[in-house]
A and B are shown apart, each in its own frame.
Chain A
Amino acid sequence: NAGVTQTPKFQVLKTGQSMTLQCAQDMNHNSMYWYRQDPGMGLRLIYYSASEGTTDKGEVPNGYNVSRLNKREFSLRLESAAPSQTSVYFCASRGYGLAGREGTDTQYFGPGTRLTVL
């Protein structure tokens, strides 16, 4: 089991360009999340999806859109990137580790995508 995977690991964009960050989990979790991490700001929730077919705004949703493609995949889209969106983006899913057979009920994180917008 890979857990939570994210692509790409690194990305550089120019202001106004668009891109989609991909996230997938193989733990059969219902809930998935997108966070951004900035120095001195901690982890801030952008959007989340409590279950397949539903999405909700978090603390900092402006400038982003999300798609819960199926139970496994939750993507984050920047339609027109801005320098203020330079950050490290983390995807997470919530449930028990390893497809519900062990571990603890919590949010499991991916390794992050470092995005720079010039």
Chain B
Amino acid sequence: KDQVFQPSTVASSEGAVVEIFCNHSVSNAYNFFWYLHFPGCAPRLLVKGSKPSQQGRYNMTYERFSSSLLILQVREADAAVYYCACTPGGGNKLTFGTGTQLKVEL
């Protein structure tokens, strides 16, 4: 079965770098997508690709079957759910992980 795996919870201190890990068993998938979701809002894309990339404070590492999202200089406002997703090819159908709740300790 096509699945994406990520931890349910990750904790970090303010100002630190936090890493959220993801790996998959999706057939022929090689693109990763990382989404941010605050309750009551639309999930929003942070970073995506089939190679390491960076968007502001968000870094994405890449290997064929795994990716990590690194958030630099973590803030209290970063406390949210982060979804990892992957897809073969162009991304018409995304398979999502179960989401990782980031908890930020002051």
Interface residues of A (CB under 8 A from B): 3-4, 31, 35, 40-45, 48, 50, 58, 90, 94, 104-112
A-B contact count (CB 8 A): 54
Please give the number of chain B residues whose Cβ is less than 8 angstroms from any Cβ of chain A in the complex: 22
Which residues does chain A contribute within 8 Å of B44, judged by CB atoms?
A: 109
With a cutoff of 8 Å between Cβ atoms, the chain B residues found around residue A48 in the complex are 92-93
**Whole-angstrom distance between the alpha carbons of A41 and B91 in the complex?**
21
Q: Which residue of B lies closest to A35 (CB)?
A: B96
Given contacts A40-B8, A40-B98, A104-B48, contact A45 B43 (CB under 8 A): no
Determine if A42 and B48 form an interchain contact, defined as CB atoms under 8 angstroms apart: no
Residue among A40, A43, A111 facing the most chain B CB atoms (10 A cut-off): A43
Q: Are the CB atoms of B91 and A94 closer together than 8 Å?
A: yes
B contacts, CB < 8 Å to A: 4, 8, 33, 35, 40-45, 48, 83, 85, 90-94, 96-99
Residues of B within 8 A of A106 (CB): 33, 45, 48, 91
CB contacts (< 8 Å) of B93 on chain A: these are 45, 48, 58
A41 touches B48 (CB 8 A): no
In Å, the complex CA distance between A104 and B45 comes to 9
Q: Are B40 and A107 in contact (CB under 8 A)?
A: no
Known contacts A42-B98, A104-B48; 5 additional CB pairs below 8 A are: A40-B8, A43-B99, A45-B94, A109-B43, A111-B42
A41 vs B6: C-alpha distance in the bound complex, in angstroms? Answer: 11
Q: Considering the chains assembled together, what is the distance between the CA atoms of A28 and B68 in angstroms?
A: 32
Cα distance A106–B43 in the bound complex, in angstroms:
12
Which residues on B sit within 8 Å (CB–CB) of A104? 45, 48
Question: What residues on A are CB-neighbors of B96 within 8 Å?
Answer: 35, 42-44
Q: Using Cβ atoms and an 8 Å threshold, which residues of chain A touch B41? A: 111-112
Nearest-neighbour CB distance to chain B for A76, whole angstroms, equals 16
Q: Let me know if A4 and B33 touch, CB within 8 A.
A: no
In whole angstroms, how far apart are the Cα atoms of A108 and B41 in the complex? 12
**Contact at A105–B97, with CB atoms within 8 Å?**
no
